[in-house]
Chains A and B, each alone.
Chain A
Amino acid sequence: MKKMIAAALALCMALSLAACSGGGEPSKSGSGSNGGSTSQPAPAGTYPTQNVNGIVQWGAGGGTDSLMRPLAALAEQQLGKSIVIQNMTGATGSVATQYVYDANTDGYNLLMGAENPALYDVLEISQLTYDNFDCVYLIGDEVVGIIVSKDSKYASFTEIVDAALAAPNSVKLSTTGTGGLPWEVGAFITDITGATFNQIPYDSDASAKTAVMSGECDFTVCKVQSGIEDYKAGDIKFLCLLSEAPVEIMPEVPLITAEYPDFSKYLPWGPFYGIFVKEGTDASITETLGSAFKAVGTDPSYQEVLANFNINFLGYTGSEAADYITSWRENTVNALKNSGALS
């Protein structure tokens, strides 16, 4: 009898596990990543016949994840099938990128990513870039700014540049590693002003920001989204914004072009977010998905999410999205090359 109870208990554990993973993880059947023979590209008009996997490049709780989940929840109603979000992190998002690329071109695996893959090849992270994917929906981009702690001796961006020119490689810029946002902007600054910095890499934008607040580093580059609350609390100061027009929620912060007009050649520039399918996916599938996302992108509740995150809404599909990404990549690679960050 006791053995029976024990066996039943063990079974319960196994079942609850199966239930957990069954509910949370996307069903693999037909996604083709390990079979391939089960799924043919779906004929136009019938897609989708099963749940769609949304593979998020970044961790649960990150900026990308928080933008994708609400959008997917709305788009499900348009598609008539669930979009099962799954975070697949690692190696600047290239693990997820590779995963979606390895799957079939049947539109059942969506890559939900940020700007990073656009530069994978030049940074030698992976051979895949957004050239290997078709953009289904480009959600938007965002403005970044240069921040210092509230007690910083630097009152303006010009002062930072002057200090760095006077003593090269001494002013400390906290970054998120090679290829990250502060590293990229650091290259722009070097290109335009000639100033060079002592770049200290941290493992996330939150810790790079904390390093500035604690005084460990002198300044960093941060998205308006991730700095706004600390700015309102007075813990950090935004010295300038990399934007062509003032940002609504912080109109008092000057634009970088006021001090260094040459920056205008790189603007507008900022991280962007989009949803992608592997290249070669049937155009009708891409269109079905694109129109589903486009229909809900302008939904007031999603616009509120975007406003909360201070994302500039773009809502591009098709060639408009592709052109945006191509020119973004060209601008960025040029800047990185001019500054010597890339050879």
Chain B
Amino acid sequence: MMEALSYMAVVIREPWLILLVAAGTCAGIYVGAIPGLSGTMAVSLLVSFTFGWETHSALAVMIGVFVGSVFGGSRSAILLNIPGAPAAVATALDGYQLAKQGRAGEAMGLATSQSVIGTLLGVFALAVCAPVVAGVARNFHSIDYLMLSLMGLMMVGSLCGRSVKFGLIAGCIGIFLGCVGVDGQTAVKRFTFDIVYLNSGVDYVVAMIGLFGASEALSQITDMKSQPVKQKVDKIIPSWKESAQYLPLTIKSSVIGVLVGALPGAGGDIAALLSYDQAKRSVKKPSAPFGQGAVEGIIAPESANNAAIGGAFIPMLTMGIPGDAVTAVLISALTIQGLRPGPNLINETPDLFWLIVAALLLASIFLLVFGLTGIKAFTKIVEIPKGILMPTILILSVIGAYAIRNSLYDIFWMFGFGLIGYFLKRFNYPIAPIVLGVILTKLCEENYRRGVMLEGSIPGMLASIFTSPISIILCALLVFLFITQTEFYKNWKRKRERNRASV
């Protein structure tokens, strides 16, 4: 313990590290807020930028950017209904509704405090129970990933709004789009029509920018009469009482965040979606119905996606296996710095492990500072007249789509998705299930095929569930989630409650 503290005190001996974390966090928030610019991109730019720096400084600024960018995605999700990153898709569902009610300031304040608590819980998990979590992550088999992705796909039910049918259609569009490209397992081209660009599939960030950003701008432009909502800015900083009241939900969501974040095949985006789903099912009396401005709909995904940061570091530091895209880049940064990420990293360079923990803690403090101070100015964005705001959103969408891999095609795709999104919205189709489908198809399909190949048959695959405790738990959870949604169960429960009431 004392040893850990003395390693972490490196930030006091080298005080410029604090400044670097602060600068990184601040820059990260803006990078994250702009759709198309991602933390992965920013951190990989920093790899070459910090090539000549010494390891501590390089890591400090990268971790700052990482934490800031995960949080930053919520800003544009709440203000403009355009998630800055896939991990903020769930935040947009209720966050934007709150902004429409003039409560954007409150929503951003809440997103900030929850992200900070989520980050802290993630760091706690990293510092205290890394070996345990790593053990779970390492024993996560193909079949377990399959069940996780099925749980994710079941969320279509949570996201579909008014009509299940429309939600399913949107989900199917997403799954179809997720199938496009060269199949990674057999190198067979699917729906590519011999266009090389399509070989790498549909980028889900492009889909997200188009479906949320461009389509939002289009539908607002066709409805120019409605005035921007006047925002209340008196209640921005969430009270201690409020935070305490929601703490159980925060902790539950953060645990999901840490575990999903620690899985090499799933990151903050899936963690945020799963915890939103979990909140929707488990919160008995939300402050407003989910999807119509429930604060719980911000708390769950925001704490989960930031908790996933600590989670993602666990396999990276204990096994040298990245937990998500950003930690994959960090692994290369460490390698370039002459370190050897792998199972020996913590034993050989304990100072590095604790430096990362310290930098994450610092980053969460700065997140609180930068997150809460800018809110009043940010709320003004919603009050900008539509004639200025909507073209700006379109420009940002174009730049964001292009920035992902400097491809003109991506801009066309983005506009295509924008049009699809516009028409779907007009006819009351939900669009979040499309993004969900695109994100989850690969995870679901590849693990299903792998599961069947490993056991040689589908019955064999199903039987293999009962060989591992993780699989059994996941399977039970999946069955439970499914049954509790059926009419049969609901009727039974209603009857039981009535009986109890009559007794």
Contacts and interface: CB of A to CB of B under 8 A. Distances in A.
Interface of A: 2-3, 5-7, 9-10, 13-14, 16-18, 20-21, 23-26, 28, 34, 59-62, 65-66, 69-70, 72-73, 85-92, 94-95, 98, 123-126, 172, 177-179, 198-203, 206-207, 209-211, 213-214, 216-217, 228-230, 232-233, 235, 304-305, 308-309
Interface of B: prevailing SS? helix
B198 to A, nearest CB: 9
B267 interface: no
Interface in B382-411: 383-385, 388-389, 392, 395-396, 399-400, 402-403, 405-406, 408
B332 interface: yes
Contacts of A213: 138
Interface in B307-350: 319-322, 328-333, 335-336, 338, 340-345
A89 B182 CA distance: 13
B450 A17 contact: no
Given A24-B41, A178-B185, A229 B34 contact: no
Nearest to A68: B48
7 contacts: A10-B392, A73-B52, A91-B181, A91-B200, A123-B187, A178-B186, A233-B343
Interface residues of B, number: 76
Given A24-B41, A87-B44, A60 B199 contact: no
Contacts of B332: 60-62, 65-66
Nearest to A98: B196
Interface string B291-321: 0000000000000000000000000000111
User: Across chains A and B, which 6 residue pairs bring their CB atoms closest together, nearest first?
Assistant: A229-B342, A90-B200, A60-B44, A91-B199, A61-B332, A233-B343
A34 B408 contact: yes
B199 A10 contact: no
B40 interface: yes
A234 to B, nearest CB: 8
Contact of A6 (B31, B201, B380, B402): B380
Contact of A13 (B30, B383, B446): B30
Contacts of A179: 187
Given A95-B197, A126-B196, A210-B138, A10 B381 contact: yes
B340 A308 contact: yes
Contacts, number: 197
Contacts of A305: 336
A309 B329 CA distance: 16
A309 to B, nearest CB: 8
A209 B320 CA distance: 11
B48 A216 contact: no
Contacts of B34: 13, 16-17, 20
A20 B338 contact: no
Interface in B434-487: 446, 450, 453-454, 456
A66 B336 contact: yes
Contact of A61 (B44, B185, B381, B402): B44
